[in-house]
Structure 1
């Protein structure tokens, strides 16, 4: 995820303009762009990693979005203006450097079934991408994917980025419901639903992984920045993995650093 469009006067990618905004009574939001540009996503991940490594005094939460980072702070220990100034300085330093996503600290390998009843729109998506369904599955499973952000529902990951050919629009109408574990795709991203849901994205697969279980020691196991690899398995294996009490659906976690 590397920037390619540059301004004529600097090495800063076009459209990256870090700006801070107040967020409630105890938050500061720094936004790199108004749209989900790959360069802005990379800058966001770099800033979030930098803030995690060197957390400013008084900060109680760091929450990265697709193109923004939110800091929540203790007003008794710091001031909003101080954090805004520091975030702006760090962001400017980041966008003047190489916008490569930081290496992941963790990697998940998640079994998934693709096509047929588990991915009823796989053929449609493959045609739009310009390849066969089997090639589409390979591209998903071989892509260097990361959890870009957790959002919409507790623990639910937005995962990307897929190759540029996968920059597919959302559907013009909602699919009324897809099952828990559905893997859906649009705009170079994948979402894994933790529960059944309506969606405007196209379903290409399904896993037994549940991104939120309140009874687990770690209710939401995924983190922004986690690497994701999908391992294709038969539909019958997904059905068996759904019986696992932990709700992880056979997913394996490897700590990389």
Structure 2
């Protein structure tokens, strides 16, 4: 049976409308948000100046000189309701990235803690991350920074009660069945399990933000010495490879 969705149309600031399908990162709601965002990007409503998909929602910003919130909500309501009433299947990914990473130790100092919380050992945790069907769910928080998932239900691990004061760029961190791979050094409430040399954002690269929502992601474990070699690659991809699937 297909999951039941709602489609709430909500105000967002002085010039925004948020279409929300769920309150939690439900896979069906995430697919609904992706389908709505793609449809709107192909046929943007009059007056819309930005379309920003989230995990289970889509934010639209509009030019008040060209449209207003009521008119935009009336335009979005039937489209969102139709998607919620008959949620589409998750589209197959068109591309797959394979990203090398070092797990555990100084490169993943909280891997053991995460494994205990998931009820498995460290090696099983690495195998789960590297063996799961993962996709870029959305890009946000920092330029090019991906939210990746979903991990199995046992990985519905809460964020930490206190911030980790620093994780480096390329850190692979987990919480609430998701992975974030950081674009820049940052504080975070997520637990670091690995380190990559992948740079999500480089303004000097031909494609500054290489990852796209919907891309399939696979992590592959490497040694620390190998990661140092990969980090020297001038493209900033840290040895990641891209496979076109369709």
TM-score by structure 1 length? Answer: 0.86
Is the CA contact (8 Å cut-off) linking 2:28 and 2:87 kept in structure 1?
no
Q: Does 1:195 align with 2:192?
A: no
* CA 1:172–1:246: 2 relative to 1, 3 Å: same
Task: Report Cα offsets for 1:97-126 as digits up to 9, x if no partner.
Answer: 245322222221111111112111111111
Distance 1:212 1:255 in 2: 21
Distance 2:86 2:244 in 1: 27
Instruction: Find the partner of 1:31 among 20, 24, 49.
Output: 20
User: What residue is the counterpart of 2:78 in the other structure?
Assistant: 89
SS in 1 for 2:29: helix
User: What residue is the counterpart of 2:193 in the other structure?
Assistant: 204
Distance 1:105 1:51 in 2: 19
Shift of 1:27: 3.6
Is the CA contact (8 Å cut-off) linking 1:45 and 1:102 kept in structure 2?
no
User: What residue is the counterpart of 1:7 in the other structure?
Assistant: none
Shift of 1:73: 4.4
Aligned pair count? Answer: 246
Q: Does 1:64 align with 2:53?
A: yes
Tell which deviates more after alignment, 142-151 or 90-99.
90-99
Is the CA contact (8 Å cut-off) linking 1:48 and 1:64 kept in structure 2?
yes
* CA 1:53–1:227: 2 relative to 1, 3 Å: farther
Q: Does 1:51 align with 2:40?
A: yes
Shift of 1:183: 0.3
Task: Report Cα offsets for 1:205-241 as digits up to 9, x if no partner.
Answer: 0100011112112222212222111122112111111
User: What residue is the counterpart of 1:139 in the other structure?
Assistant: 128
Instruction: Find the partner of 1:235 among 203, 208, 224.
Output: 224
Shift of 1:129: 0.9
SS in 1 for 2:141: coil
Is the CA contact (8 Å cut-off) linking 2:6 and 2:84 kept in structure 1?
no
User: What residue is the counterpart of 1:114 in the other structure?
Assistant: 103
Distance 2:91 2:50 in 1: 20
Root-mean-square deviation over aligned CA pairs: 2.2
Tell which deviates more after alignment, 205-214 or 79-88.
79-88
Task: Report Cα offsets for 1:17-59 as digits up to 9, x if no partner.
Answer: 3122344565432112333333322221222233334444554
Is the CA contact (8 Å cut-off) linking 1:3 and 1:38 kept in structure 2?
no
Structure 1, unpaired ranges of 5+: 5-12
Distance 2:15 2:159 in 1: 34
User: What residue is the counterpart of 1:10 in the other structure?
Assistant: none
Q: Does 1:130 align with 2:119?
A: yes
Q: Does 1:181 align with 2:170?
A: yes
Distance 2:65 2:166 in 1: 46
Distance 2:184 2:213 in 1: 20
